[in-house]
Structures are given as C-alpha cells and as structure tokens.
Structure 1
C-alpha cells in the first residue's frame, strides 16, 4: 500500500512539473566523448545517448543551451537559467552546496597523462640518481673501513712488505678488502699479524652478508623505473609539475592537496603543455583523456593505468529542483535497460 502511495505521489509531482512549464531547457558544454556539439548545433555523445533513453518519457519540449566553459554552465544552473544539465558532472562537496545531483549514470576515475619515456633515458636518469650514488658510497665506505683496519695492524709487522707502513698502505688495505669481498682471491696481499687476520676473518663473513644487500641496492637504483612507478598516491604528485582544467571537479580535488601547478582551458592545451615540458603530469577524467589521446594518435603521451580516485557522473539541477525526484526513477530504469548496456559495450570498443 505504501509503495502504491509513493508511486502515486511521484506521478502527481511529475505531472505538476510538466504542467507548469512544457519547455525543458538543458545546459550543455562540449565534453567529448560524452557531449559533442555537431555542426547543426544538435548534441551527440555518450551522455546524450543516455538522455535519449529518458527523453521519450518526458512530456515536455526540450531545448538546448550551449556554454563555452563548465563554470559558466554551473553558474547558470545555480541561478536557475536552465532546468538541468546532462553533462558528465562529477559530484563534489563544494558543488553540492549550490546544486543538486541525480542518481549517478556513469562511473569512471581521475587519471594521469604523462610523456612517454625512453628506457635508455630512464636508465641514465637512474644511473646518475642520488639513490645509485648513495649505494655506491656505502659499498666503498665499508670496503675502506675494513681495509684501513687491516692496514692498522699490518703496518706494525716488522717484516711486513705487503702493506706499506705510511698512509699509502691504506690503498693496499683497500685493494685487499675489495679483492676479498669479491672473492677474486689474487693472493698478492694477505694479513700476517694476529690482529690483521682477526679482522680478515670477520670481514670474510661480514662481506657475505653485506654484499648481497648492497648489491641489491645498486641493482635497485639502476632498475628502469618509469614515472608511473614513482607515483603510488596523490601525495606523490607534489614531486612533479601537474596541470588540469580550471573550474572542474578535478581542479577542486587537486586543490585539496595544494595542487595543481598550472590550469588550462582544454585538454588539448594540457597535452601541449606536456610536450613543451611545462608540466610533468596532466590530470583529468579518464574517458575524456582517452578520447583525446585516441583522437589525435598522441603516441608521445601515455595514459596511466591507475585511477587517483573514483568519479560518479550525474545530471545536475538547480538547488531544490523537483526534477531530481521526477527523473531519478527514469534514470534508474534507463541504467538497467539493454539499450544502455549495448551503448556502453560499443563505446568500450571505440565504436560510434
């Protein structure tokens, strides 16, 4: 009984909405592949195709109003100049203060685009990295320490000729220590004093334990690591110059972390900034980034395989608009329809 009452109430609300104004004004901003403005001014794209599944259920005449930027469109929504927007708008806390959002109709993520990296260039970068030189310095320091200790005892040997008695004998000790550690075993130098042999005995077993760890450190420093492997969370982006599109959900999200370094008016401008090395990473919605990468065959740029966060795309209404309650059931039915699943499958294969 309660379900019947709610359905009847929703029907009454919906009917009253269309009766008050038979014209529905929808705000749009070109955002391929979701919203595309065709030459005739008619919309196209993934979001529009989803709206077409709902449009037949709306007893009102629909007109579209185009905007040049997302911020202008959202401001128009907040002022009530348009009834709703079918653009893929990300729900954020700041936007919820002035706007209402529908049931999400598409789930995606915020991703990163960076310049493609040559394996040789990355190797050279790692070769001259601080980590590599630190590992080498530790290795040489340990060799020098034990070589100096052996020289300290051997220089006192009255008949010792293998380790010079002056400071140059430190080089003899260093040579012996390196040969012993690497198990080359030339045999040209060997300790003769009890103290020297004790140090040699300790060094032989210590070297077995240390050489594996130190060698692994050097190998790790030389391992080819791309920029992608250096970024495990959004906090790691602080080490790079980042960019995104101004007045977007991505810009708001990055702003919470003191990012980005640069703002751009479009994805194309962000890609161009990447090529000019003005920024290291461009951050935005994954489907949009993939569309522009495939559109212009940007082989010099790479889309990161991970998402920084999950995004939920929704229709947008003015605050307190009764359209949300009227359209949400229609959105849910459209999401479950075979037609929408078919559209998504074609989109995932890059088909029109």
Structure 2
C-alpha cells in the first residue's frame, strides 16, 4: 500500500514539472504588443518605415536577452501609450516616457535607463533675436524707469520755480511759463545741457540746483547701466537665461507631457502644441518665444533638422525615462535585471555615443 502511494505521488510530481516549465515558456513565446511613438532620437522611423533609436535598440537588446517575442505598434502621444497600457491593449511601451507619480498610479515602470531634464529652445533668426530688445523697451519696467526720471525732473523744476519765480525773470511770467521754464531747466541739467542764460540766482534755488545736478548724474548713470546690461544680455544670450525668464515670455509645450505638469506647478503660463514639430513651427512663426521640451530631443531635432533654433542653456525639472508596463506585469523583474546588466555594458555606451555623441547621461 505504501509503495503504491509513493508511486502515485512520484508520478504527480513528475507530471507537474513540465507544466511549470510550459508556463514559463508561454510567457516568453507569447507575442508581446510593444507600443511606441515618434520621439527622436529615442524612437523614430528610418526611410523604410522601420523603428530605430536609443529606446528601440534597448528594447531589441532586452528582448533578445530574454528571448521575448514581440511586435511594435504606434501611438500618437505619450498619453495614448499610458492609456493603452492601463486599458490592457499593450504589454509594454517604450519611447521617451518620463516617470511621474500620476503615471505610476496607473501603470508600472522599470528601473530608469536615461536621466535628463527639460530644456528650452529659442529662435536664432537675426530679426527674432532683436525681439527681446523691442519687448524690453516696451515693457512695464522700462516705462516705470522713464516715468521715475521724468518725475524727478518735474519735482526739481517745480522747486526751482517756487524759489526763483519772484527774483528771477527767467522763471517768471505766470504759472505756466514759469513752471515750464523750471521743468525745462531741470531736464537740461539732467542731460548736462544747462542754458547759461537761465540759472538760479537765489540761495535756495542754487542749493536745489546743486543737489539735482548730483542726483541726476547718478540717476542717469544707474539707468543707463541697467538698461544697457539688460538689453545686451538679451541681445547676445537670448530671451531665456533662467527659469524665471519663462514667466515673462510666451512658452510653448507639448500637451500631456511632464513639462506641462512642471510649468503648472511653477505657475508659468504656456501654450500647448500637439507635437514637437508643431512646437518648432510655432517658434519659427513667432507665435511663441520659447519651446520647452525634453532636452535631448530638442538637441536632436535642432541638429538633425537644421532648424533655426538653439538651446538656451536653461535646464530644469529632472526627468527619468523608463519602460512602461502594465500594472502587475510578470515581466518587470526579469526586464529590470536585464536592463541593469545592459546599462553597465560597453554595448549601451556605444548606443549612446552613436545617437548622442556621448557615453553617459
């Protein structure tokens, strides 16, 4: 009896082993649906319509290592990739997908394979580069500075008239004539063009005149230095030199990206466009002053497309690119292991150098 029971248990155990192996094999032989979208140089099509790029090459490498069967399908936006994964239409998605808290709630991500940030592209046309200067001259702060100087000149002119009107014919002749003479004299004094035929003769008038001449020299020097510095900086270095400058220009972003969330948090107004190509088109046509998007993609599009734009040097909102997976995907652990091994290999450094001209990110 005991021998028979042992035989039955042995047969059941031997029968379960192939089933477990088959279950593992089914995971690797099932054709996975991998969604992607145009995001050069991470995902793009060659002239024959075949997918290539940093992320595409990485997925092919991982699939080869793990012996995964797959096919690529194209989506129109990152939002469509996330929604398709959440709905179960795709098994994974890879392009230039940024890991965010909101996306992590809907789907899973692998360990990040690329670290970058948001860059800002600005126009380099000669005419466009003068636009910051024009806007600075027409800005509220510039008008304030001019109004301040005129106010000081008016105050000095009024004081001169009050002290000189009864003793000096040059500032007499009625309120209108006297005031206009006083203001005209103070304006001339401010520009160091004093008319010797009309000068203060009273003690109080001369004290005011001396004080005004000293103050006006300092005020003009500060005003000139400030305006020259601002205009030169904007003319030579562009309209965006820091993240704070984005608040005073027309910023364009791609709708549904992590950049949109970042600018919303910083309370910076922006205009949305459907794609990076449309963003550069809006920049070229002058509908926006700056285009904020993932820095390596901006650099690639400017270099490869021969666009009349340049990166401003501003970089903000660090981003991590990762492979997006369905929530609870059984592939996550094995992909992570293969991904970490790939990142430490010479193969990965060669891929980055081929597409970006660099070996690290």
Question: Is the shorter-chain TM-score for this pair beyond 0.5, marking a shared fold?
Answer: yes
- SS at the partner of 1:88? coil
Question: Is residue 123 of structure 1 aligned with residue 130 of structure 2?
Answer: no
Residue 330 of structure 2 corresponds to which residue in structure 1?
322
TM-score (norm 2): 0.78
- Pairwise CA RMSD of aligned residues? 3.3
Find out whether 1:29 has 2:63 as its counterpart. Answer: no
TM-score (norm 1): 0.80
The 5 Å alignment of 1:99-118 reads 99-116=107-124, 118=127
Task: Deviation per CA, 1:139-166: give whole Å up to 9, x if none.
Answer: 1221222222122121222xx3333242
1:77 aligns with 2:77: no
**Higher relative helix content:** 2
CA-to-partner distance for each residue in 1:45-78, whole Å, 9 max, x for gaps? Answer: 1112223443332133333333344333323322
Per-residue CA distance 1:281-327 (angstroms, 9 max, x = gap): 3332222223333333122x333321231211001111111222112
Query: Residue 336 of structure 1 is aligned with which of 340, 344, 356?
Result: 344
Structure 1 runs not aligned, ≥5 long: 1-12
SS at match of 1:283: strand
Q: Within 5 A, what are the aligned runs for 1:267-306?
A: 267-299=276-308, 301-306=309-314
Residue 273 of structure 1: how far off its partner (Å): 3.0
Residue 63 of structure 1, aligned match among 53, 58, 71: 71
Counterparts of 1:36-47 in structure 2, within 5 Å, are 36-38=44-46, 42-47=50-55
Where does structure 2 lack aligned partners over 5 or more consecutive residues?
1-19
Q: 1:103 to 1:214 in 2, by over 3 A?
A: same
Contact 2:241 2:313 in 1 (8 A): no
* Alpha carbons of structure 1 residues 183 and 14: separation in structure 2 relative to 1, 3 Å: farther
Displacement of 1:33: 1.4
Map of 1:135 onto structure 2: 145
**8 Å Cα contact 1:77/1:84 also seen in 2:** yes
How big is each residue's C-alpha offset from its partner over 1:166-222, in whole Å with a ceiling of 9 and x where there is no partner?
A: 221223323433344444455323222222223234334433443433443554565
1:150-299 equivalent positions in 2, closer than 5 A: 150-157=160-167, 160-167=168-175, 168-184=177-193, 186-219=195-228, 222-223=231-232, 225=234, 228-229=238-239, 232-233=242-243, 237=246, 239-256=248-265, 257=267, 260-264=270-274, 266-299=275-308
Residue of structure 2 equivalent to 1:49: 57
Q: Deviations over 1:240-298 (max 9, x none)?
A: 4444333333344445547543331x322232333344444333222222333333312
Partner-residue secondary structure (3-state), 1:187: coil
